[in-house]
């Protein structure tokens, strides 16, 4: 089973803004060179897509309502979604904040047929979280993902095992994993436009045109995907980055943004019950060239203060910059489960005060939803009025 929320960020926002239901809504920062994070289906009907530059989206939908993202809130709701999944089966493979694969074979006797289980999940998500989900059910991960995509939004589709190939062969070739714009063009030159066309093409011809991915696509075209649902998916890194509205040389702006990003990364670490040992800094300059630096800490941490201090030190270590900065990012690597990190004893009790305040902020945000707790330095003039 593949379960995917519908326009996740948008629907979470509409829970407190029901007057916007049925309207064109875009989640993303409204100014500068930011990108669309999520769009309502009404905006998608006008061509707006995730990762599209915000200026392009606003040009396509000048009357759309643009909502600034609340990442901590989305992480909180994501945790609630995963709790629902784990109440159905222990075999859950989370793919992102709003989607996962579930192996429900061990739940059939307890909860009923696959369609009954899918209906149960959708009903609980709607009743408990106020959002909708689409569910694809099939004999393999790939086909379940295809099914959930084809029944969006707010639908459910079961593709029975003995009809898998029949169903796949009705689809355009871009329905296969790994077929993007360039691969689609390559296949079109070979006269391949549907999954059925690809399935009928010799593997050797596909490998000559596409390399090693040719054999994999041929297998998918016949519904062959032996990968199991893997429940223990460990993130390798957690990061956040921001593109400035205007390129900047100003260290005050850069360090302020590092503080904001450090808080976002630390909150995600604590939400995932992880800590990181290596802090990485990324800069992208006006000419789109990029540089990255990293520093390994003495002990793993999920504290924004520790992350921020290391990130600022890395920035200062770069020395004078010949170009203005277009993008800045912070990432934590070498992640460890929080319960596996050795206890770090502190002589000065004030050393842990910053993290303790952050944990309290997490609890307040979890209880009150839209509450925003953070350092005063990040307040905008209208916030402090």
Catalytic residues: 99
* Antiparallel, parallel or unpaired: β 25-27 and 65-67: parallel
Query: Residue 293 burial by CB count (10 A; 0-12/13-18/19+): exposed, middle or buried?
Result: middle
Residue in 2, 43, 1 with CA at minimum distance from that of residue 22: 43
Q: CA angle at residue 70 from 65 to 71, to 5 degrees?
A: 135
Neighbour tally for 80: CB within 10 Å? 12
- Is the peptide bond preceding residue 260 cis, with omega within 30 degrees of 0? no
- H or E element, residue 324: none
| Token digits of residue 360 | 């309290």
The residues, any chain, with a CB within 8 Å of residue 68's CB and separated by 6 or more, are: 27, 28, 29, 30
The edge-to-edge listing of strands for the beta sheet with 274-285 is 237-248, 325-337, 274-285, 290-301
Residue in 39, 322, 3 with CA at minimum distance from that of residue 145: 3
CA atoms in the 13 A half-sphere facing the CB of 32: 14
Q: Is 135 in contact with 121 (CB distance < 8 Å)?
A: yes
Q: CA angle at residue 341 from 337 to 344, to 5 degrees?
A: 150
| Token digits of residue 224 | 């062959």
| Token digits of residue 189 | 């030159």
SS3 label, residue 209: helix
Phi, psi of 248 (to 5 degrees): -135, 145
Angle between helices 203-210 and 213-221 (to 10 degrees): 130
- DSSP secondary structure letters along 216-227: HHHHHHTT---P
């Amino acid at each position: 089973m593949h379960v995917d929320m519908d326009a996740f960020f948008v629907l979470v926002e509409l829970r407190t803004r029901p007057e916007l239901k049925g309207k064109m809504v875009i989640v993303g920062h409204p100014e500068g060179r930011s990108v669309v994070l999520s769009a309502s289906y009404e905006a998608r009907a006008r061509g707006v897509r995730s990762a599209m530059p915000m200026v392009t989206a606003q040009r396509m939908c000048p009357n759309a309502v643009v909502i600034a993202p609340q990442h901590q809130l989305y992480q909180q709701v994501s945790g609630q979604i995963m709790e629902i999944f784990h109440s159905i089966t222990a075999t859950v493979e989370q793919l992102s904040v709003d989607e996962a694969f579930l192996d429900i074979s061990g739940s059939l006797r307890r909860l009923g047929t696959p369609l009954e289980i899918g209906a149960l999940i959708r009903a609980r998500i709607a009743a408990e979280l106020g959002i909708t989900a689409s569910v694809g059910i099939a004999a393999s991960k790939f086909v379940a993902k295809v099914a959930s995509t084809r029944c969006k939004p707010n639908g459910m589709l079961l593709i029975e095992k003995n009809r898998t190939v029949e169903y796949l062969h009705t689809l355009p070739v871009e329905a296969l994993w790994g077929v993007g714009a360039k691969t689609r063009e390559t296949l079109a030159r070979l006269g391949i436009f549907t999954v059925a066309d690809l399935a009928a093409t010799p593997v050797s011809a596909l490998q000559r045109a596409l390399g090693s991915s040719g054999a994999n696509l041929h297998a998918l075209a016949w519904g062959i995907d032996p990968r199991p649902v893997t429940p223990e998916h460990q993130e390798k890194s957690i990061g956040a980055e921001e593109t400035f509205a205007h390129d900047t040389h100003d260290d005050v702006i850069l360090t302020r943004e590092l503080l904001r990003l450090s808080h976002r990364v630390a909150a995600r670490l604590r939400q995932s019950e992880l800590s990181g040992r290596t802090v990485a800094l990324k800069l992208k300059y006006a000419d789109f060239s990029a540089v990255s630096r990293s520093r390994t800490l003495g002990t793993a941490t999920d504290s924004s203060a520790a992350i921020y201090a290391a990130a600022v030190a890395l920035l200062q270590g770069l020395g004078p910059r010949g170009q203005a900065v277009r993008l800045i990012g912070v990432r934590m690597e070498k992640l460890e489960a929080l319960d596996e990190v050795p206890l770090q004893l502190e002589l000065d009790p004030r050393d842990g005060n910053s993290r303790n305040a952050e944990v309290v902020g997490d609890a307040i945000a979890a209880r009150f939803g839209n509450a925003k707790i953070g350092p005063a330095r990040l307040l905008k003039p209208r916030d402090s009025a």
